[in-house]
Amino acid sequence: MNNVTKDAKCKILLIEDDELDRVAFERLVKQQRLPYNYDTATCFEQAKTILGSDRFDVVIVDYLLGDGTAFDVLDVLEHTAAQEDCPLAETDAAGPAVILTTGAGNEETAVRAMKAGAYDYMIKDLERNYLKVLPQVVEKALAHKKTEDALKQYHNNLESLVKERTEQLAEEKELLSVTLSSMTDGVIAVNTEKRVILFNKVAENLAKWRSQEVQGKPVDGVFRFIDEKTRKSLESPIDKVLKSGNMESGTDRDALVARDGSKCPISATAAPICKNDGTTIGVVMVLRDVSREREVDRMKTDFVSSVSHELRTPLTSIKAYTATILRDPNMPDKTRHEFLSVIDEESNRLKSLIDGLLEVSRIEAGTVKVVREPVDIAAIIDQVLPALRPIADKKNIHLETDLGDELGRLQADESKIRSMITNLLNNAIKFTPEQGEVCVSVRLQAQELVIRVSDTGIGIPKEDLPRIFDRFYRVYQPDRQMPGTGLGLAIVKEIVNMHAGRIEVESEPGQGTTFTIFLPLDSQAALYS
């Protein structure tokens, strides 16, 4: 049976097997015009079906039903509320308030009912006077349910907020992890007790520790700082920050000593981690590997020293021979000619050095102009060899050429190609002992001109090969001092790049070296291909 009153504000399910009680309830609703929208069930099975398809604010259930009890109804409410597709499982409302009525129960039944989830317990009497107070009990049950609904909604909102914040924190953590992993600098964070709380991938590589191994470990046991020159221990920027409370930096001579004892030149900056009230809760330090920068500084220092020496030596000779000529106007012609020849040779040496410096300067400034025109590579080699042959002859070095047929015409800057070949051959002669051999060969392969300059010289150590094209870099030779500034191969590499080519080197210490250059015949087209 279903009855809907005007302006209904609550839904009630009455589960009652006594027809007289059902009629009395319906009469009460009509007489007092109670704003109830109610359904009735005459047995447990019928109530179970209704509860499975609709939701109610209040359930009034008789203790003893023909096919069950009120506790069976409470069990149904508990189970159906847990089902996602059940109306009772709405996330913004609690289940119905249950009012248990009985004429056969006792205090023990009442306690059990309340523990099982009932809101209230009412004793029936023969005159059905309990119905007089039923509306007030329903009102209190509705108020109770409203409070429960509000609490459940708050709980659900709180759950959603916690879930949202947890997901947000997970995303932020993942983003932080990705950011720290992709950084090129090492990042280390410690608490005020100097125990590691963050250690990114670059820091792992620098200190030779894995992040999992150092979590919670005192940072002083992970690495230490030393002076790169004196090897004395230095105060860590972390210690400086904990003392001063301000951002601190290391020195320009700091080196980090890793787990395996290896040392790496480092630039370190540390800053305090503070709460909103300014309290320091830790320190974050950023480490940057400056091996390359310090090596460049060293090379520049060596370059200045080398250039000074290279300039001083010919100038000293020129000055000495010139002074001698000026002091002796009666010097024999033969001697004067010899002295002038030395002055001319040293002047050429100076010019070559200055030309190299100017070439590097123009390359760095980007002002080098490349004039491409058809170039006969064989003709260039024929022009270069006569100037270098006397130098080779002084060391009894055999100069050999191996030029293929049909080399084609290279679209290139002739002066740059001449400089490139001169530099390579001059280096080969310089680093080849007496009685050695130097060979230049040219072949045409798949629209590329392949130029090889090989020698039987002292070779290049394997560890130096990756850097021989760096400006100012010179291979350290402890038992011999070779003249030069470390610019020749850098210029060669730049010329090859200008012509869209590539250069490779193979070397074996004590056996010799081979430089191979690949130049496209039409370098202009190669640049835009």
If one counts the domains in the chain, the total is 4
pLDDT at 5 over 60: no
- The pLDDT of residue 46: 92
* Distance of alpha carbon 499 from alpha carbon 413, whole angstroms: 8
Please list the alpha-helical segments (H only) found in 1-129.
19-31, 44-53, 70-81, 107-116
461 & 428 share domain:
yes
Tell me the Ramachandran region of residue 307: left when phi exceeds 0, alpha when psi lies from -120 to 50, beta otherwise: alpha
Residue 463 lies in a domain: yes
Given pLDDT bands bounded at 50, 70 and 90, which one contains residue 528?
Answer: very low
In this prediction, residue 1 carries a pLDDT of 45
Q: Which two tokens stand for residue 502?
A: 């590539």
pLDDT, tens digit (0-9, with 9 covering 90-100), for 429-447: 988 999 999 999 998 888 8
Shared domain check, 26 and 122: yes
Token pair listed for 361: 């300067």
pLDDT of residue 529: 44
Residue 165 lies in a domain: no
pLDDT of 154: 83
Strand partners, 64: 69
pLDDT of residue 165: 81
Bridge partners (DSSP) listed for residue 353: none
Domain stops at, among 122, 157, 192: 157
* Domain assignment present for 378: yes
Residues 69 and 28 in one domain: yes
Q: Please tell me whether residues 324 and 257 are part of one structural domain.
A: no
- For the chain, give the longest Cα–Cα distance: 158
- Which amino acid makes up residue 127? E
Torsion sign (Cα): 349, 352, 358, 360: negative
More confident site: 356 or 459: 459
CATH classification at residue 212 = 3.30.450.20
Encode 31-46 in three state secondary structure: HCCCCEEEEEECCHHH
Any domain includes 164: no
Three-state SS sequence of 345-383: HHHHHHHHHHHHHHHHHHHHHCCCCCCCEEECHHHHHHH
**Residues 9 and 130 grouped into a single domain:** yes
What percent of the chain is modeled with pLDDT above 90? 17
Last residue of a domain, one of 289, 320, 336: 289
More confident residue, 100 or 178: 100
Token representation of residue 101: 């009525």
Long-range contacts of 234-238 (CB under 8 A, 24+ apart): 236/268, 236/270, 236/285, 237/268, 237/269, 237/270, 237/285, 238/190, 238/194, 238/270, 238/283, 238/285
Band of pLDDT at residue 42, cut at 50, 70 and 90? very high
Query: Where does a domain end: 255, 270, 289?
Result: 289
Q: Measure the N-to-C terminal CA separation of the chain; round to a whole number of Å.
A: 87
- Binned at pLDDT 50, 70 and 90, residue 275 comes out as confident
Burial of 186 from C-beta contacts in 10 A (0-12 / 13-18 / 19+): buried
Residue 167 inside a domain? The answer is: no
- Same structural domain, 11 and 111: yes
Query: What are 50-98's pLDDT values in tens digits?
Result: 988 888 999 999 988 889 888 998 888 888 766 655 554 555 567 888 9
Q: Which domain holds residue 349?
A: 294-365
